[in-house]
Amino acid sequence: MVITTRTDPPAAGHNNGPPLDDHVPEWGRDGIGTHFEWKRAHRRAWRRHSRAQTMFVLGRAERVGLTYQEYMAELLDRGRFLQVEDTARLGEIKGARQPD
């Protein structure tokens, strides 16, 4: 192992740490904004629910041909339960699926 040391002294106020220009924080370069509020809300929305509530949502999801995650995301996003009559929105969700 070779240890190299700098021969020139660092500039005043410099602690010889890594450059900060290369670091991109998890919230990006655009500023922190509401990053942590959204992160907390996401965790709370996808937390475990009671078995009865999960089975209720799963039954509704299967009735309209969606997965639990797709149905729950729509419920969280729009705030309403999808019905079989919502063919346009169901088509959009199914069309956005990733091919297997």
Q: Decide if pLDDT at 60 tops 90.
A: yes
* Tokens matching residue 81: 């339960």
The answer as to whether 63 is a domain residue is: yes
Q: State the Cα–Cα distance between residues 94 and 66, nearest whole angstrom.
A: 7
Q: Is the pLDDT of residue 96 over 70?
A: yes
Q: What is the pLDDT of residue 3?
A: 61
Mean pLDDT of 79-89: 91
Tell me how many domains the chain contains. 1
Residue 25 lies in a domain: no
Q: Which domain holds residue 74?
A: 37-95
Residue 23 lies in a domain: no
Per-residue pLDDT band for 6 (boundaries 50, 70, 90) equals low
**The pLDDT value given to residue 1:** 56
CA 28 – CA 36 distance, rounded (Å)? 12
On whether residue 53 sits in a domain, the answer given is yes
Residue 79 lies in a domain: yes
Local confidence band at 37 (pLDDT 50, 70, 90 cut-offs): confident
Whether the pLDDT of residue 59 is over 80: the answer is yes
Both tokens of residue 41? Answer: 């809300």
